[in-house]
Amino acid sequence: MTTLIIAATECELALLAETLQCRRESRVLDFTVYRAGGAADGTVLVRCGAGIANAAAAAALGIELYTPDRIFNVGVCGVCNAGMESIGVAVTGTRAVFADTGVDTGADFLSLRAIGLPLANQSSGRRVFNAIGLHAARGSRRLKRALFLTVAACSGSAQRAALMSGRFTCNRQDLLCEDMESAAVALMACKAGIPCSVVRAISNVCGDRDYANWQLSAAALNAQKELLKCL
């Protein structure tokens, strides 16, 4: 089985690369590619860089070059509907949503469905708009579930976070998280018909710009530790 793992930054891949005995290959465009060795042979890690465009390009290229059987997106995220007590918690996605793709009137937000612009047309005839379904990652324990809001611009205030989180609903027991890549990876996987899972850990509360409260390194490690249990 070939597994493709995509993350935005080196710190979100470092533990995986070390544990899976990866060797660094020559770059593809400016994406850093690692190949796992030993028992994990067949696993490819790609550092894509931040943001929707980078993630989509890296996923599409990875699918074309390595023909994976499954795809994971790993990294950190903010949380909209919980507080500081949730920092460090690892989550797996139920859906990834392009949360700021559509028409923003200032007073309202029109989704791609509302304006009739699908992101993908599946062979079954189903049209995909803002939301892409994900496969829940399963490791040694049941991970907390989350709806991922993928944005081009992260929420810089509590008011902005509240506005973004009000656009798409999730189950009451699920966390509502914000990131910059997961929906892009999921969309490319959807177009290729490949199962995609997202495993991230919460590094901050959305809208909180006091970096003293953020735990980026610890969250990145927690996400990778949970992903290792899923491989």
Which is it for strands 131-133 and 43-47: parallel, antiparallel or unpaired?
unpaired
Given a cut of 80, is residue 141 above it in pLDDT? no
Query: Measured between alpha carbons, how far is residue 173 from residues 2, 62, 94, 223 in Å?
Result: 33, 34, 12, 20
The residue with tokens 């009137």 is: 105
Domain locations along the chain: 3-230
Using an 8 Å Cβ cutoff, are 31 and 25 in contact? no
pLDDT digits (tens, 9 = 90+) for 190-228: 999 999 999 999 999 999 999 999 999 999 999 999 999
pLDDT digits (tens, 9 = 90+) for 30-55: 999 999 987 667 899 999 999 999 99
CATH class, range 3-230: alpha beta
Dist CA 152 CA 56 (whole Å): 13
pTM of the model: 0.95
DSSP characters over 105-144: -SS-EE-HHHHT--SEE-TTS-EE-SEEE-PPP-SSSPPE
Dist CA 217 CA 100 (whole Å): 27
pLDDT digits (tens, 9 = 90+) for 151-192: 999 999 988 888 888 888 778 789 999 999 999 999 999 999
Query: Measured between alpha carbons, how far is residue 152 from residues 40, 51, 52, 68, 231 in Å?
Result: 33, 7, 7, 27, 29
